[in-house]
Amino acid sequence: MTTTIPLNSGGHIPQLGFGTSLSRTPVESVKAALQTGYRHVDTAQMYGNETEVGEGIRASGVPREEVFITTKLNNGHHAPADVHSTFEESLQRLGFDTVELFLVHWPMPHLEIDYVDTWKAMVELRDSGRAKSIGVSNFEPEHLDRIIEATGVTPAVNQIEVHPYFANNALREYCQKLGIVVEAWSPLGKGDELGEPTILRLAEELGRTPAQVVLRWHIQRGDVVIPKSDHPERMRENADVFSFELSDAHMAAIDGLDRGEDGRRSDHPNEVGKD
């Protein structure tokens, strides 16, 4: 159903994942997504739903070894000792001994705790085998440079904001140069992009939904995507993005929607956590 992308730490990550950050029914939604064919589930300490995500995985009947699980370190847990203790708590909530990927959710450069020390603790978790791969989320080039220079360990993944109105190309290209897989959170933006005339035109031309067109754009760019939905029919639609292709002209039309920094929906990573 889905393609996979190799990680610099070994193994592969499914290119299509299922996001749970806004789920109102995480147990049932994760169960339905896995039964639909998804094999990658994304959660985080910040979401407060790791217990339900674990329950949904078990309820799905899909063997644990077939599911790629990502969770993320919360912003208040950057102290090295907290990295270790809260990761253990995440495993307990999920009900599993390991996760495939553990990410630092935000760099938080304004904390007294240096995110380099946070990253060193993440490396220790990877070396323990309990987090099979480690990565980051919302890290800019200067953040990546610091942790790599300090440890010699390059993140396997950088989960960042990417969607047609904010293509984030400079950061994507920087990650690709370093061998870091780019994962797009909020790949459909806030939903208003699905009503964009260019997207609607392409969807009508291709006989696809607007969401399928946008997700296919991400897939062809080589990004991992984690669309979210609590509706099984929408899950199935979002998963059906490997049975068609966008032409070069289609891709260029969507590329042309990029608004640069004006299209960013979140705060810049250097501003998150700033007093």
Number of domains in the chain: 1
Q: Is the pLDDT confidence value at 275 over 70?
A: no
By DSSP bridging, strand 131-137 and strand 99-104 are parallel
- Residue 109: CATH number of its domain: 3.20.20.100
Q: Position 70: which residue type?
A: T
Q: Is the pLDDT confidence value at 158 over 90?
A: yes
- Catalytic annotation, pick one of 38, 47, 115, 165: 47
38 is catalytic: no
Would you say residue 77 lies in a domain? yes
The band of 254, judged by pLDDT with boundaries at 50, 70 and 90, is: very high
Would you say residue 127 lies in a domain? yes
Sign of the alpha-carbon dihedral angle for 188, 138, 24, 242: positive
Would you say residue 184 lies in a domain? yes
Write out the residue range of the structural domain in which residue 233 sits. Answer: 4-189+218-239
Would you say residue 259 lies in a domain? no
Quick one: tokens of 144?
């990546």
For the chain, where are the alpha helices, taking DSSP H only? 26-36, 50-60, 80-94, 115-128, 141-151, 169-178, 197-206, 210-221, 232-239, 248-255
Q: Is the pLDDT confidence value at 271 over 90?
A: no
The band of 200, judged by pLDDT with boundaries at 50, 70 and 90, is: very high
Would you say residue 28 lies in a domain? yes
Would you say residue 264 lies in a domain? no
